[in-house]
Copies of this chain bind each other. A is one copy, B any other.
Amino acid sequence: MIRINEKFLDYITKLEAMDSSKEIIKVEAAIGEALITQKTNVLFVYIIKKGLTKCYLTEDTGNDFIQEFFGEGEVFGELEVITGEFSFCTIETLTPVECYRISKETFLKLIKNDSIFNSLVLNLMATKIRYTALRHSYNQSHVIEDRLKGLYSSVPDLFTRITKNDIANYLGVTIRSLNRAIKTLDLDRS
């Protein structure tokens, strides 16, 4: 699924408009750029204003597993900034992306001093845990075909927006298996 977070985007947009000291700035990224890299220190929190990214982990086996696709309003980097640990995933753009960027220090300051901001962060983290858990459970107890069906029904323009490779990595399967499922479900005909 493609995660979005309208509320957060609205709030950040408002903050940015009032921010005279340029603590929240707009940045752009071209296709294929990594905004955060696995196993590195994270200095900024990002909020997507426009565009699509993938959030993925590279396993010791060399396989990439896509955690989620992030769309408008989605936030990343916040986990690492909060815990101070290295990033466990890479965030890479799939389209040209515009986003807001906040430094670690500013983010932590906002959490501390802006109770609305704090509440939004708590909510987005709670939401992340929920959907991650649900998806994990779903993946473990359903076959590829069912997983693809679910994904397709929530993102009807799936195949035009995301490459086969990325879809396969999101479902945690090989392209070969994905192709089989597409065939069985007749999704290639539509």
Contact = CB atoms under 8 A, between A and B. Distances in A.
B85 A137 contact: no
A25 interface: no
Contact of A130 (B63, B83, B122, B141): B83
A153 to B, nearest CB: 15
Name the residue in A57, A61, A88, A125 with the highest tally of chain B Cβ atoms < 10 Å from its Cβ: A125
A127 B141 CA distance: 24
Contacts of A59: 137-138, 141-142
Contact of A172 (B67, B132, B141): B141
Nearest to A146: B61
A127 B57 contact: no
Contacts of A184: none
Interface residues of A, number: 38
B65 A137 contact: yes
A185 B78 CA distance: 39
A118 B119 CA distance: 10
Given A128-B129, A129-B79, A130-B79, A139 B136 contact: yes
Interface of A: 57, 59, 61, 63, 65, 67, 78-79, 82-83, 85, 88-89, 111-112, 115, 118, 121-123, 125-130, 132-142, 172
